[in-house]
Chains A and B, each alone.
Chain A
């Protein structure tokens, strides 16, 4: 349903001037102006007379003159355009030199011989900086000047003038449209121009179209600036034609043209940096909707308009040609029988062996009583056999639940109980096993030993069932882990959706780097197996030692590497320490698990080109089967602070919705909803949560998962990721994205790591944003403020920015906010804390951990993790000894133990 039959095409305008045309001059007027042009000395203005060579060119000459920027010309440019029958005077000025009444004055002065004095000019208002959140991001000022335009001359097939619109009604429609874009507290600059003068209203635009000048937002004693300009021009005379200058450029300007109080057109002009033409088209369509009087009161029909606008951006679900996982695996097992399927420190397993051994495990499990859909918790160390066990469960028609054997016993018990698992495949002994626990513990060796024999044919394996699959436990925000159950149908859909795009083939070598209880490893394992590739199963010790992992990548000629950004940054550092590039076999790197900071990939691109090795950032959620969207990263993307997570993979769908489930328009922030082939069955035993998070859309009847992530859709269908909804704070009425502040701080040269948090979160009036940063350069809080002021509105500037040696981490490796906030008044001083140079080791430990510890404290107990260990090692190599290995650190994790070890080594008591 469209309200509008005719809208003019979107055009680019770049005018920087006020232009007044005076048409149909009299002979007397012409001769007076002509006289002055010959006698240029009489006025301090330059008068040009253009004699148009042919009558047909007349309008073209006027158009050309009207659109000419004033550039470096002084004051006002006066051009008389003449042909045999007609004359038009074109008066052009910069808005700081003359406005409409100023130009009228010049016109009158030209005829009356009065010496010109001061001309009326417009005051220059400061337009707002980045406070508009919708559309495309604002770029730097140098790109200003290009505007998209959207004209409304008809509504419902009738001329706008038919509707007898009043300015206030138009303002109200604008306010309602802006509300859809999340801008309710909006400062506008509204100017009405008439022949007799101008009135200016500045302030908050209310929903009823009134402007409340007293509520203009003030920050730090200065006006917050205006995001929207409204210009209404009523030149009540056919002789004149006035074009108002857009400068200063408001991100959005609404121009209302009237004649004697009757509105003839409403047009929107938006900086290309704020809204691209498609976003503006949607904005304009909504404005038309609100301008059309009759149906503007019904919410549901508004939703229909929005739905219609957004339909082209909902990706159609591609029906993937799906064979089931078992057929696919069997085909691979036959086709690549002699290829290596799995490899670990113990040796290699071919697809043929894999088939035999996993069949045997399945047979055994069925004999033990495993029925279709039964769950089996597998908790063994990460090696080839773990993979075989998982495949075995699937082949038996069951559901595997991988659990890291290093998890605390209580957590494993919880999972066993919560999932209702029938089997516990592990060497671990559950001491606290309840007497009434109804699972059967199976020693993995038992399952695996028998499989050394020839193939079992005595028991037929069951046919494929979509009930088979896996369960991954994720930490809930409440602290209670929740199990997400995913069907094998989803696994095969994931592989089919990506196979072509990533050219996955049997020539690839993958690593299973991530713990089996993190779903990134589901992708690593099945992505490799189902394309016939070789999967190198990385032992946990190697995965936690990046140097060893680096060597493994080279040794196995790995081609497909999956990494979380933080571990990749560490890997990249190791690579850059090498004299020559050594990771040449890698052709595809997939980032997942956390937000990627493109700017940190510079080191990689110094050595590898994206044509040889493709870098892909993937956004994913356990609840929707590992991945959702993908975005290629090229060298040219490194400097831009792109938040793009790209487009959904084949068969997956994304929609961005407001809190009421209505689709958001292009550029409007909302919650990311995921639908399509990747949707999991939901959480085990969490009925309430399932109904909250997995919902049926009223409009389409489709099932969606509400991700809790913020995003917006852009005109090209790609999605910007804007952080977690939980990470949004409201300070003094402003909705603030802490992630956005963090992004800006981390872009400051020399700044390495940034944490942005809020102090006094409980009392609104005392809330303060505080940024903590690690940096090579010594920035003061004021330096940071000065830099950010150029990019962010002042309510987003941290009240305090604290330079810290290192950002402290909790035992879980997460940022220790409490410690940061507690210590900000007495920051940790590396130099004074570890009193003398004598205890270099302790000093290094403290520096890396960012806290005071004792000589006996274990690095890993005090917040150290594998990534910090790399930093610790490189510090030790610089300051203490070049011969320390990462594995030494794992054994001698306290300063005292390391000291003893080094002394022993010096005396030759330790063989290296």
Chain B
């Protein structure tokens, strides 16, 4: 249970879903954590983003696990908010060992590429691709000083394959996989590892307030149950992935167990992309 002992982990998008699962898992492994989420909505995004109470809940669970928690709301599209998030984290803990770049949006989607509005296209790339880059921009100088660090970008199987009517999302996640590989080379000599995790269909786990399957179903104009059925049939293992499954991979990449792993992406998709 001490795989991340004495480490400090920063997680974006920790209000719910995979981010929340990662925060809880990291706390269980003994890390001190900084959790962040937006705590408000964005106009161009057609669904509700994480509420402040959801991040409070993550904080409460982690504190019960006996670790120190720094909670701060931040929007990954706003560079000054990210700067201040990282600064506070260093004030509080003195270091950042692991960054889990998790914040992202699944929609707008559900249409062919040319049908996206300019605003819709921009927001997908701004949150899903430029967002992780902004956090890296401020966290990496800290890690260079430490000569140590692990950055984990939560991408998607959409970073490896195409999905019909999800061009914006797919493009942003492909971009994130590319950023991962280049950054891995940039910082290899500084002992900073950069890896991506590509989850396949993740079901909406109530424990962490998961909602992405609902977002996908809504985008395609079908029922949640129907989408769940489609997902189940698409994976090789005949059981879809849970947010905790993804968090397990993130913990491994964050721990010293993976100290020679960099520039790779790990698919956690129950065999979805193998077919």
A678 to B17, CA, bound (A): 72
Pairwise interchain contact A73-B63, C-beta atoms closer than 8 A: no
Q: A53-B63, A61-B66 are in contact. Are A68 and B94 (CB under 8 A)?
A: yes
A72 to B90, CA, bound (A): 6
Q: Say yes or no: is A48 at the interface (Cβ < 8 Å to chain B).
A: yes
Instruction: Collect the chain B residues with CB atoms within 8 Å of residue A54's CB.
Output: 64
Instruction: Collect the chain A residues with CB atoms within 8 Å of residue B145's CB.
Output: 72
Q: Say yes or no: is B91 at the interface (Cβ < 8 Å to chain A).
A: yes
Q: Say yes or no: is A69 at the interface (Cβ < 8 Å to chain B).
A: yes
A73 to B88, CA, bound (A): 9
Pairwise interchain contact A72-B64, C-beta atoms closer than 8 A: no
Instruction: Collect the chain A residues with CB atoms within 8 Å of residue B109's CB.
Output: none
For residues 47 through 95 of chain B, which have their beta carbon under 8 Å from a beta carbon of chain A?
A: 60, 63-64, 66-68, 70, 88, 90-95
For residues 29 through 84 of chain A, which have their beta carbon under 8 Å from a beta carbon of chain B?
A: 46, 48, 50-54, 57, 60-61, 64-65, 68-74, 77
Q: A71-B146, A72-B145 are in contact. Are A50 and B68 (CB under 8 A)?
A: yes
Pairwise interchain contact B90-A71, C-beta atoms closer than 8 A: yes
A46 to B84, CA, bound (A): 13
Residue among A52, A60, A70 making CB contact with B94, cutoff 8 Å:
A70
CB distance from B92 to the nearest CB of A (A): 5
Instruction: Collect the chain B residues with CB atoms within 8 Å of residue A70's CB.
Output: 94
Instruction: Collect the chain A residues with CB atoms within 8 Å of residue B91's CB.
Output: 46, 48, 73-74, 77
Q: A53-B60, A53-B63 are in contact. Are A72 and B95 (CB under 8 A)?
A: yes
Interface size class of B (residues with CB under 8 A): 10 to 19
Pairwise interchain contact A71-B68, C-beta atoms closer than 8 A: no
Q: A74: nearest residue on chain B (CB-CB)?
A: B91
A116 to B70, CA, bound (A): 26
A849 to B132, CA, bound (A): 67
Q: A71-B95, A72-B94, A77-B91 are in contact. Are A60 and B142 (CB under 8 A)?
A: no
A68 to B92, CA, bound (A): 10
Q: A53-B63, A65-B68, A72-B145 are in contact. Are A46 and B95 (CB under 8 A)?
A: no
Pairwise interchain contact A57-B95, C-beta atoms closer than 8 A: no
Instruction: Collect the chain B residues with CB atoms within 8 Å of residue A77's CB.
Output: 91-92, 94
Q: B62: nearest residue on chain A (CB-CB)?
A: A53
Pairwise interchain contact A68-B93, C-beta atoms closer than 8 A: yes
Pairwise interchain contact B94-A71, C-beta atoms closer than 8 A: yes
Residue among B64, B66, B93 making CB contact with A73, cutoff 8 Å:
B93
Instruction: Collect the chain B residues with CB atoms within 8 Å of residue A60's CB.
Output: 66
CB distance from A46 to the nearest CB of B (A): 4
Instruction: Collect the chain B residues with CB atoms within 8 Å of residue A51's CB.
Output: 63
A68 to B95, CA, bound (A): 10
Instruction: Collect the chain A residues with CB atoms within 8 Å of residue B95's CB.
Output: 69, 71-72
A596 to B93, CA, bound (A): 49
A319 to B249, CA, bound (A): 56
A689-715 vs B: 1/0 string, CB under 8 Å? Answer: 000000000000000000000000000
B86-108 vs A: 1/0 string, CB under 8 Å? Answer: 00101111110000000000000
Q: A17: nearest residue on chain B (CB-CB)?
A: B94
Tell me the dominant secondary structure on chain A's binding face.
loop
Candidate in A54, A72, A77 with the most chain B CB atoms within 10 angstroms: A72
Candidate in B60, B70, B90, B145 with the most chain A CB atoms within 10 angstroms: B90
Pairwise interchain contact B94-A69, C-beta atoms closer than 8 A: yes
Instruction: Collect the chain A residues with CB atoms within 8 Å of residue B92's CB.
Output: 46, 48, 73, 77
Pairwise interchain contact A72-B68, C-beta atoms closer than 8 A: no
Pairwise interchain contact B90-A57, C-beta atoms closer than 8 A: no
A464 to B231, CA, bound (A): 88
Pairwise interchain contact B70-A73, C-beta atoms closer than 8 A: no
CB distance from A36 to the nearest CB of B (A): 14
Pairwise interchain contact B142-A72, C-beta atoms closer than 8 A: yes
Q: B91: nearest residue on chain A (CB-CB)?
A: A46
CB distance from B27 to the nearest CB of A (A): 12
CB distance from A744 to the nearest CB of B (A): 27
A48 to B32, CA, bound (A): 14
A70 to B93, CA, bound (A): 7
Pairwise interchain contact A73-B94, C-beta atoms closer than 8 A: yes
Candidate in A73, A74, A77 with the most chain B CB atoms within 10 angstroms: A73
Q: A68-B94, A73-B94 are in contact. Are A48 and B146 (CB under 8 A)?
A: no
CB distance from B12 to the nearest CB of A (A): 20
CB distance from A377 to the nearest CB of B (A): 63
Instruction: Collect the chain A residues with CB atoms within 8 Å of residue B94's CB.
Output: 68-73, 77
CB distance from A474 to the nearest CB of B (A): 52
A598 to B101, CA, bound (A): 47
Q: A47: nearest residue on chain B (CB-CB)?
A: B91
A72 to B94, CA, bound (A): 5
A555-570 vs B: 1/0 string, CB under 8 Å? Answer: 0000000000000000
Candidate in B70, B92, B146 with the most chain A CB atoms within 10 angstroms: B92
Pairwise interchain contact B70-A48, C-beta atoms closer than 8 A: yes
Candidate in A61, A64, A71, A73 with the most chain B CB atoms within 10 angstroms: A71
Q: A81: nearest residue on chain B (CB-CB)?
A: B68
Instruction: Collect the chain B residues with CB atoms within 8 Å of residue A52's CB.
Output: 63
Instruction: Collect the chain B residues with CB atoms within 8 Å of residue A72's CB.
Output: 90, 94-95, 142, 145-146
CB distance from B32 to the nearest CB of A (A): 8
Instruction: Collect the chain B residues with CB atoms within 8 Å of residue A57's CB.
Output: 66
A194 to B60, CA, bound (A): 40
A53 to B142, CA, bound (A): 30
A633 to B95, CA, bound (A): 40
Instruction: Collect the chain B residues with CB atoms within 8 Å of residue A65's CB.
Output: 68
A46 to B91, CA, bound (A): 6
Instruction: Collect the chain B residues with CB atoms within 8 Å of residue A48's CB.
Output: 70, 91-92
A65 to B94, CA, bound (A): 12
Pairwise interchain contact A64-B68, C-beta atoms closer than 8 A: yes
Pairwise interchain contact A61-B64, C-beta atoms closer than 8 A: no
CB distance from A707 to the nearest CB of B (A): 44
A114 to B62, CA, bound (A): 36
CB distance from A480 to the nearest CB of B (A): 60
CB distance from A558 to the nearest CB of B (A): 40
A50 to B60, CA, bound (A): 12
For residues 585 through 642 of chain A, which have their beta carbon under 8 Å from a beta carbon of chain B?
A: none
A65 to B32, CA, bound (A): 10
Instruction: Collect the chain A residues with CB atoms within 8 Å of residue B67's CB.
Output: 64
Pairwise interchain contact A71-B66, C-beta atoms closer than 8 A: no
For residues 23 through 56 of chain B, which have their beta carbon under 8 Å from a beta carbon of chain A?
A: 32
Residue among B60, B63, B88, B93 making CB contact with A71, cutoff 8 Å:
B93
CB distance from A651 to the nearest CB of B (A): 44
Instruction: Collect the chain A residues with CB atoms within 8 Å of residue B60's CB.
Output: 53
A71 to B92, CA, bound (A): 10
For residues 841 through 888 of chain A, which have their beta carbon under 8 Å from a beta carbon of chain B?
A: none
A64 to B94, CA, bound (A): 14
For residues 398 through 429 of chain A, which have their beta carbon under 8 Å from a beta carbon of chain B?
A: none
B144-185 vs A: 1/0 string, CB under 8 Å? Answer: 011000000000000000000000000000000000000000
Q: B88: nearest residue on chain A (CB-CB)?
A: A46
Instruction: Collect the chain A residues with CB atoms within 8 Å of residue B93's CB.
Output: 68, 71, 73
A74 to B146, CA, bound (A): 15
A50 to B94, CA, bound (A): 16
CB distance from A11 to the nearest CB of B (A): 15
For residues 64 through 109 of chain A, which have their beta carbon under 8 Å from a beta carbon of chain B?
A: 64-65, 68-74, 77
Q: A54: nearest residue on chain B (CB-CB)?
A: B64
Q: A14: nearest residue on chain B (CB-CB)?
A: B6
Instruction: Collect the chain A residues with CB atoms within 8 Å of residue B66's CB.
Output: 57, 60-61, 64
CB distance from B151 to the nearest CB of A (A): 17
* Nearest 7 A/B pairs, CB to CB: A71-B94, A46-B91, A71-B95, A73-B94, A53-B63, A70-B94, A53-B64
**Can you list 21 residue pairs at the A/B interface with Cβ under 8 Å?**
A46-B88, A50-B68, A52-B63, A53-B63, A57-B66, A60-B66, A61-B68, A64-B32, A64-B66, A69-B94, A69-B95, A71-B95, A71-B146, A72-B90, A72-B94, A72-B142, A73-B92, A73-B94, A74-B91, A77-B91, A77-B92
| A residues neighboring B (CB under 8 Å) | 46, 48, 50-54, 57, 60-61, 64-65, 68-74, 77
New A-B contacts (5) at CB < 8 Å, excluding given A53-B64, A71-B90, A73-B90: A50-B68, A61-B68, A71-B95, A73-B91, A73-B94
